[in-house]
């Protein structure tokens, strides 16, 4: 993973993008209504599985004319999100960049 710059407006090189908004999977911070019934850990595990599947599916569609942009909440730790995305997408060429407000975008090509 490499940092590609500081501007959200930076051209990713693709003609179009799939933008996927995620939260860092932390018990008690994701799926809070579900957690009320099944517990924070189970709700977080469910969220992590769904979001990871969405990332893999969207990344499989990415190519020269379509990029995947994973955007996260500015309240989440950028390094944690980057590590999670890297773990989910494995050996893909992934670059990350920070945006105004502390959020980050991760591009898969």
The total of other beta-carbon atoms located within 10 Å of residue 11's CB is: 8
Assigned token pair, 84: 């999670």
Residue 82 host element (H or E): helix 78-89
Q: What confidence score (pLDDT) does residue 53 get?
A: 96
Mean pLDDT of 30-37: 96
Q: What percent of the chain has pLDDT over 90?
A: 32
CB within 8 A of 88, min separation 6: which ones? 52, 55, 56
Summarize pLDDT for 56-105 with one digit per residue, the tens.
Answer: 999 888 888 888 888 887 677 888 888 888 899 886 655 444 343 344 55
Please tell me the distance from the alpha carbon of residue 75 to that of residue 102, in angstroms, as a whole number: 8
């Amino acid at each position: 993973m490499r940092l590609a710059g500081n501007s959200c407006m930076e051209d990713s090189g693709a003609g179009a993008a799939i933008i996927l908004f995620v939260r860092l999977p932390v018990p008690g911070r994701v799926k809070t209504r579900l957690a009320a019934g099944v517990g924070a850990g189970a709700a977080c595990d469910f969220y992590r599985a769904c979001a990871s599947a969405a990332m893999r599916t969207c990344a499989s569609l990415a190519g020269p004319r379509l990029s995947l942009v994973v955007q996260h909440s500015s309240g989440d730790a950028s390094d944690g999100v980057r590590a999670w995305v890297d773990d989910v997408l494995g050996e893909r060429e992934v670059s990350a960049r920070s945006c105004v407000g502390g959020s980050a975008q991760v591009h898969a090509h």
